Structure 1
Amino acid sequence: MTYSAIITDIEGTTTRISFVTEVLFPYARLHLAAFVRQHQQQPAVLAELTAVREQLQQPEADIEQCISALLFWLDADQKITPLKSLQGMIWQEGYQQGHFTGHLYPDAVAQLQTWQQRGIPLYIYSSGSVTAQQLLFKYSDAGDLTPLLSGYFDTRIGGKRDLASYQAILKQLQLPPAQVLFLSDVVAELDAARQAGMATVQLIREQQAASDHPVAENFYQIEV
């Protein structure tokens, strides 16, 4: 099958799960309170704090209440958009200051390059914000890989386990569902993509249980 677009997840698919859980999340938690206090009047941060107050249904919540909510959501690994956006801003500082680089599996790098050279548009769909996605690929172990990518989707288009999210992506791409391949390690995400008519492949990087989706242990095993 020749696909007109390939969409890939990040965590557990292009990127080691431990990079997110052991590097990015702890860095964001360590710096979140100070970052929000320091930058709370900047328009981008202020907009996310407004979204936090809306999420809490507390329009008068002060900055410390917002920080407490953000830390609670972070510790609970909640996929809440303003948290993800603020995490992306914090990680930007970390990447730019050289505190870490974005982990990508070498096979993912090689195949993304091959597919892009073959003229297949490549997209990212992750629960991390678009900013966070762009940063990981811009400051990756393999250098700036953002030229490989045609676009990014995050929770603003919807939850990754929701059929409507994949339908919305297809509407944006203006492609027949069967011509779009979605890659992820999470079965519930693959199920939703398949419901939307997309082709799917499950990446089994770290002893995940196989499902009824086609499976691959690395990007080299994905037939495109």
Structure 2
Amino acid sequence: MKTKPPKLFLLDVEGTIAPISLVYDQLFPYARAHFQAFLQLHGGEPGVVSDLTMLAEENVGETDESVPRFTTPEYWDDAIPYLNWLMDRDRKSTALKSLQGRIWQRGFETDELTGTLFPDVPKALERWSATSQVAIYSSGSVAAQLLMFRHSNYGDLSPLISGYFDTRTGPKTSPASYEFIAATMSLEPGEIMFFSDVVRELDPAREAGCHTRLVMREGNIPVEDAHGHRRIKSFNVL
């Protein structure tokens, strides 16, 4: 880099370090296909009950009349239509993401799923982590993020990652989320560079004081107005 390297490289996942197809063609269909069997086996476990309780609370707040209703966590089978409804809308639901992560765990551990990353990612992680820190900020749960890096198509890359953040941090469209990440990593926002393929995520990061890069990958939705964020097509330039 021509300028002083950031102390933290903060990375989005979908469309930034991994193809969008990983989520929509592999992970989402796998979760959808295994919801019923997973809940039948694990619906009474404390962690899953906690997720279902959170899901029911979210359902109460829905104003759309078409939403499938799910208000009693004990009847887990009633949750499936609502889970599918949320997935159809790509809703960033913390409860949904947690349940997906639990289901994906088996898929990764049995090699039915692989964390497919872009070819320039492994070398970039090695290069950056040698002098700075690397963290992930994704709507997917921290558990799912860990699985993806431990079972990537380039082997276990998790030792190169210093931190993981998900929807529990706050929405990626809020400057406060990036301020929280900075504080958690004992840094100032100005010491962070955030990479994403979504301008509406980069804007609040910049507002919080972070440096930003708009990642342009093959298969991403074209961006006409970058709002002044520097565009990059590869991590090889950094």
User: Normalising to structure 2: TM-score of the pair?
Assistant: 0.89
Question: Which residue identity is paired with 2:30?
Answer: Y
Computed over aligned residues only, the root mean square deviation of the Cα atoms, in angstroms, reads 1.3
Q: Name segments (4+ residues, structure 1) moved above 2 Å.
A: 57-62
Q: Give the distance between the partners of 2:44 and 2:10, measured in 1 at CA.
A: 36
Question: Which residue identity is paired with 1:83?
Answer: L
For residues 153-204 of structure 1, the C-alpha deviation after alignment (integer angstroms, 9 at most, x for no partner) is 0000111111221121122122122111101111000001000000000100
Q: Larger deviation: 140-149 or 162-171?
A: 162-171
Q: Give the distance between the partners of 2:55 and 2:189, measured in 1 at CA.
A: 35
Contact 1:3 1:120 in 2 (8 A): yes
- Report how far residue 60 of structure 1 moved: 3.0
Counterpart position of 1:29: 32
Contact 1:107 1:220 in 2 (8 A): yes
Q: Give the distance between the partners of 1:89 and 1:52, measured in 2 at CA.
A: 15
Instruction: Work out which of the residue numbers 61, 78, 81 in structure 1 matches 2:91.
Output: 78
Question: Which residue identity is paired with 2:140?
Answer: G
- Report how far residue 64 of structure 1 moved: 2.3
Counterpart position of 2:125: 112
Q: Give the distance between the partners of 2:54 and 2:36, measured in 1 at CA.
A: 17
Q: Give the distance between the partners of 1:114 and 1:60, measured in 2 at CA.
A: 49
- Report how far residue 59 of structure 1 moved: 4.7
Alignment partner of 1:217 is 2:233: yes
> What's the % identity of the aligned pairs?
43
Contact 1:36 1:67 in 2 (8 A): no
Question: Which residue identity is paired with 1:84?
Answer: K
In structure 2, the residue corresponding to 1:100 is in which secondary structure? coil
Contact 2:39 2:77 in 1 (8 A): no
Contact 1:107 1:218 in 2 (8 A): yes
Q: Give the distance between the partners of 2:44 and 2:55, measured in 1 at CA.
A: 15
Contact 2:214 2:232 in 1 (8 A): yes
List alignment gaps of at least 5 residues for structure 2.
61-69
- Report how far residue 2 of structure 1 moved: 2.1
Alignment partner of 1:154 is 2:166: yes
Q: Give the distance between the partners of 1:201 and 1:41, measured in 2 at CA.
A: 43
Q: How many residues align structurally?
A: 221
List alignment gaps of at least 5 residues for structure 1.
none
Counterpart position of 2:56: 53
Counterpart position of 2:64: none
